[in-house]
A = this chain, B = another copy of it.
Amino acid sequence: MKFAILDILEKKRDGKELTWEEMQTIVQAAQLGNVHAAQLGAFLMACHLRGLNEGEVENLMRAMMFSGRLMKWPSEWKQKIVSLQSTGSTGNKAKLILAPAMAACGVKFPILSARGYDAIGGILDKLRTIPGFSGIKSVKEIEQLLEDVGCCVVQQPSDIAPAEGVIRDMAAIAGTSDNDAFKEACMIARVAALKLHAIVIDIPYGAGEWVKTKEEAMSMAANLDRLRSILGIKIKVLVTAVDWPVGTMMGQSLEISEAMRCLSMCGPPDLHDLVIKLGGHLLHEAGVADTPEAGQQRVHRVIRDGKAKKMFEKMLKAQGVDKSDLKSLMKARKDPNNMSSVLPVANYFTHLSSGDKCGLYGSLSYVAY
């Protein structure tokens, strides 16, 4: 049964609960472009101001999840495919180290990046500062990368939860993306469509994060946990107080540089610790380590003995970075000043005030590379 978009929109406007059929109708129309952008904008604002209840969030999530095909993985990878989602931009840098470290520990770790709207950009934007790096891959190519390397950083394929991308884009311009219900539904729709076996979701909270308070973070964690039980996949939610940027560098190519130092055991200790912590939980969830602590030891080991770094090189090569650039990059990795021979350097620099307290985010509102 089809419902008229305007009726659905007006129903939500008036604070009434939408049914599964109504939610599905509007999500499908958004995906196919069968709804006027003004109606979609008005709908998103009505959802934002009126709120979505538990059932509506679940229906929104399902409608987006089933808007494309579901990923299928080789059966021998059972329980082995894990990934990390993070609500904060500071965690993104950790992913750059985590991906090769996880691959070095023998699990499959695809990072399927959604387009980033924050100031620094997503992890893919960072890797694209390396000449030749390509993140656009088909489902088939992603499978090949996981087979050959064990990790990859690619854009979410266009046939996986396509409606989710459309709705997320629209929410960003309609001023409604700063909304827990949307974020949760989008995050879980992606993970579910990707058919990951286990996922660790990192919810850092603090002044410079998307989630500001512990209460918000805990409520988000509870909602994600509820959605998890609906889907039956393993989700571990970590809620951590973060009142300062992880590591010492912010900006696209600067973060690549810091991640490479970390993979050579000469990065900042807080970043190293974060990677170890997240990785330990991931290995535990994937059944590779008996406890998160045992997992942590293993992650530390593959970083210390250079296996993770080798895996990072392998991944860059498999994703299009040519031999000579890779060689220059690896040679320069211990000295960020030498990175500029390969990575771009910003033309414009600005002083960022961190408010009263040294080292804290404080009044920081924008960062650039």
Contacts and interface: CB of A to CB of B under 8 A. Distances in A.
Interface residues of A, number: 23
A38 interface: yes
A33 interface: no
B42 A175 contact: yes
A281 to B, nearest CB: 35
A216 interface: no
Interface in A37-60: 37-46, 48-50
Interface in A1-16: 6, 9-10, 13
B48 A174 contact: no
A173 interface: yes
A115 to B, nearest CB: 16
Given A37-B38, A38-B170, A40-B38, A10 B45 contact: no
A173 B174 CA distance: 16
| Chain A interface helix/strand/loop/mixed | helix
A36 interface: yes
A48 to B, nearest CB: 7
Contact of A48 (B13, B39, B170): B13
A175 B36 CA distance: 12
Nearest to A170: B38
Contacts of A49: 13, 45-46, 49-50
B37 A41 contact: yes
Given A13-B176, A46-B49, A49-B50, A39 B36 contact: no
Contacts of A176: 13, 42
Contact of A175 (B9, B37, B48, B174): B9
26 contacts: A6-B173, A9-B175, A10-B175, A13-B48, A13-B49, A13-B175, A13-B176, A36-B37, A36-B41, A36-B173, A37-B38, A38-B38, A38-B40, A38-B41, A38-B44, A38-B170, A38-B174, A39-B41, A39-B175, A41-B41, A43-B45, A45-B46, A45-B49, A46-B49, A46-B175, A49-B50
